[in-house]
Amino acid sequence: MDLCEAMTREAMTAAAVASTAMRQRSAIEALAVALLLLVALFPSPVLAQNGAAGPEPCARQLDTCRSECRARIFAVDPRRDVCLKGCSETELKCAQTADPQAQLGAGLGRRPVSTQGR
């Protein structure tokens, strides 16, 4: 085998490796695009629940949290009360997320009434 043949084989091997790498890269890119489209077209149920109106999802979440606390921690264990209090805090956060007006407070949208000029 002469030098020319060796160089030709080496060049062909390098071209084959590069071609395989490009095919793998394009397959990965196609998979990434497909996943992005899937996520964009079908939003997560978690995102859909955050926009749900009414207290039903929050009540369900509170019941689930309390049930988990009762199942995991014995009644005489002081950590059980801490767990149940954490459930109540989670319910408040859920209610604020479900009703953004609740975060503003009762009187933030009104002007204060002045009693000095009358």
Q: Is the pLDDT of residue 16 over 70?
A: yes
**Pair of tokens at residue 11:** 């060049």
pLDDT band for 28, please (50, 70, 90 cuts). confident
Q: CA-to-CA distance for 24 and 34, rounded, in angstroms?
A: 15
Model pTM score: 0.39
Q: CA-to-CA distance for 39 and 51, rounded, in angstroms?
A: 18
pLDDT of residue 67: 92
Least confident of 32-41, 57-66, 80-89: 32-41
pLDDT higher at 22 or 104: 22
Q: Is the pLDDT of residue 12 over 70?
A: yes
Q: Under a CB-based contact definition with an 8 Å cutoff, are residues 57 and 96 in contact?
A: no
Give the residue-averaged pLDDT of 3-8: 71
pLDDT tens readout for residues 75-99 = 888 899 999 999 988 888 887 876 6
Q: CA-to-CA distance for 72 and 69, rounded, in angstroms?
A: 5
Q: For residue 62, how many other CB atoms are within 10 A of its CB?
A: 19
- DSSP letter for 31, please: H
